[in-house]
């Protein structure tokens, strides 16, 4: 799982505009808008008679800001980058990772605007 988490975070870091912090699971107490919170919500194992052949991970990205347009601009960029993304290849052990955006929702809560984007991250290969 660690290499998938690292690869997904690295991609997200490239997709998120400069000046937007990314936090794993929960934002820092002193976080300033805009910021992003990412979390791997779970995974399923894909197996055959030969054993495990891959995994499907569920990630959620929550983009927080002080204005709807601020979070909408960031979310639009992330969605656009995700749609254009093809795959990451790993050499040792061999495998490949693909990303697909599956869902999203906008809200105003706790004094801020948030857009939650959900992703399905598919990994084909052995141990992650």
Determine the structural domain holding residue 108 and report its residue range. Answer: 2-125
In this predicted model, what pLDDT tens digit does every residue of 24-55 receive, in sequence order? Answer: 999 988 999 999 999 999 999 988 888 888 99
Domain count within the chain = 1
Dihedrals φ, ψ of 93, to 5°? -70, 155
In this predicted model, what pLDDT tens digit does every residue of 95-122 receive, in sequence order? Answer: 899 999 999 999 999 999 999 999 999 9
pTM: 0.88
Q: Evaluate the CA torsion angle 121, 43, 115, 111 in order and state its sign.
A: negative
What's the CATH number where 75 sits? Answer: 3.30.2000.30
């Amino acid at each position: 799982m660690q290499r998938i988490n690292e690869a997904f975070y690295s991609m997200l870091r490239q997709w998120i505009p400069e000046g937007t912090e990314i936090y794993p699971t929960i934002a820092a107490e002193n976080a300033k808008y805009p910021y992003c919170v990412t979390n791997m919500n779970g995974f399923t194992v894909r197996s055959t008679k030969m054993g495990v052949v891959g995994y499907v991970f569920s990630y959620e990205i929550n983009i927080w800001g002080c204005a709807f347009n601020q979070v909408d601009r960031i979310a639009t960029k992330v969605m656009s980058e995700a749609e254009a993304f093809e795959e990451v290849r790993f050499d040792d052990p061999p495998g490949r990772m693909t990303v697909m955006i599956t869902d999203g929702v906008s809200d105003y809560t706790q004094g801020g605007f948030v857009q939650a984007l959900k992703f399905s991250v598919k990994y084909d290969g052995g141990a992650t």
